[in-house]
Structure 1
């Protein structure tokens, strides 16, 4: 199967979803599986990983419920409060739903550069490891150091970096990001999503070649067996159509063999998130 390893569903709430600014007016509405199904079919995508967009257990349950109605959802990355003293109980409750593959916290919104190294948060990561759940890393540059420290402290936890750590493609910034990618990729338990890149470029006005140096560096550091495709739909729609998001990745992977293409477009995601890729 060809898998989109990163996308979202929501019923828009202007208060809860205040992060969707007026500049992002194209996505200030509901987005549900029926809104995505045609784009998946048109682009030969067979399934998706639905990732949390709101930090609540209601969000996790919402995605689980959607998965019972739409076969396109091959896995859910939910949210629980990893800092809570009751995190083990929360994970125990949600463990009844095998569709849940992992969890995420929106670290990029946290002002504390050392958020990932808080003792309470590290305890939450330890609990994820106990349950064999994955963890999606969504970070800002101020979190680079603590991300490396957190990963080093948890060698048995499976991590995946969202959106290639959001490189500043708009301003063609490269060196600091590239150095971080090299350091993070040195940990074999970390995968990387080639996802959401159009939003980090100049929009409108980006060109396919704008992304090539960044994707090339992700390939050079993580290798071809730890990269996976994700659209970040519908957030990506502010800067690119679904087909354009596909084209951004496809344009940079022309040197991949058929086997490497298979791994990038689905095999690696299936291995990481532990679902049957057939």
Structure 2
């Protein structure tokens, strides 16, 4: 089974004010992107399904995605949003108990002005509740946030985490020590996985050739191993850099160097295992 571990949907026409993260570079995606738009792209590239990830910081976003997933069998799971720092977040988590398509949650860690937000007491408390419900947590980071993310992980060694978009390094041919050392350190925590996703919109990626991504993917593979890496598109955000097939082809082509079972794991098996997809 081939699974895109990271993509988004939105009804932009109905909720244009909700997408405050869209700047001038995101002008091409200020429109609706819904399952009917993605399905032919999955068919063309041979992907069986996806994990739909939140794009709005609203509880209503979780319910919106769950509604889409209930009506579209290609959506294998949902990563929703809750304010995990809220004192009463446990009430909302209780409300989602027994929701099989809801696999986890994500907060926009890298958008907080405090680079130490991931390790803040309120955030640690909220993320620390997820394990009892069986929910995963997506870590949306840039290199300066890796240190605090490691501190969060160390306080919650039994919680399942996945780093989105390889923690967003610049694709400029030079690894910063902050990114390289941070990735290698967080990968030493066995409860952390990594998404090979969002590559075409990383800083410096627009003029890059496919081979330019390979050193970054090689480092992540060396750190996490083939058993904890998973392909993801970040569609439709990725369309600001490449079409769906071109986005997926970066990891698809790079992964040809792997043994067949390892490649199958990266292209779907690991995602299914991490999120508990049926």
TM-score bracket for this pair, using the shorter chain length: over 0.9
Work out whether 1:2 is the aligned partner of 2:2.
yes
Which stretch shifts more, 182-191 or 256-265? Answer: 256-265
- C-alpha change, 1:53 and 1:179, in structure 2 (3 Å) is same
Deviation at 1:203, TM superposition (A): 5.4
Structure 1 unpaired stretches of 5+: none
Query: What is residue 168 of structure 1 aligned with on the other side?
Result: 170
Shift of residue 121, structure 1, vs aligned partner: 1.2
Instruction: Tell me if the contact between 1:229 and 1:264 (Cα under 8 Å) persists in the aligned partners.
Output: yes
Residue in 1 that maps onto 2:116: 114
Q: Deviations over 1:188-238 (max 9, x none)?
A: 000000000110153542201110000000100000000001000000000
1:229 and 2:236 equivalent? no
Aligned residue number for residue 159 of structure 1: 161
Q: Give the 3 Å change call, closer, same or farther, for CA 228–203 of structure 1 in structure 2.
A: closer
For 2:4 and 2:19, the matched residues in 1 are separated by 23
Separation (CA, whole Å) in 1 of partners of 2:20 and 2:133: 33
Q: Does 1:255 align with 2:257?
A: yes
The separation in 1 between residues aligned to 2:164 and 2:106, in whole angstroms, is 10
Deviation at 1:23, TM superposition (A): 2.2
Deviation at 1:145, TM superposition (A): 1.4
1:188 maps to 190
Alignment of 1:1-278 (within 5 A): 1-12=1-12, 13-170=15-172, 172-202=174-204, 204-276=206-278
TM-score, with structure 2 as normaliser: 0.96
Could you report, residue by residue, the CA deviation over 1:8-50 in whole angstroms, capped at 9, with x for unpaired residues? 0001133221321222221110100001001000000000000
Count of matched residue pairs: 276
Q: In 1, Cα distance between the equivalents of 2:52 and 2:241?
A: 20
Distance 1:6 1:172 in 2: 26
For residues 244 and 189 of structure 2, the distance between their equivalents in structure 1, rounded to whole angstroms, comes to 31
Work out whether residues 142 and 169 of structure 2, in 8 Å CA contact, stay in contact via their aligned partners in 1: no
Structure 1 stretch 203-212 or stretch 60-69: which is displaced more? 203-212
Determine the C-alpha separation between the residues in 2 that align with 1:60 and 1:14: 17
TM-score after normalising by structure 1: 0.96
* Greater than 6 Å deviation, 4+ residue runs: none
Q: Secondary structure at the match of 1:211?
A: helix
**Partners of 1:202 and 1:117 in 2: CA distance:** 29
Structure 1: how far apart are the matches of 2:119 and 2:20?
A: 27
Instruction: Give the root-mean-square deviation of aligned CA atoms.
Output: 1.3
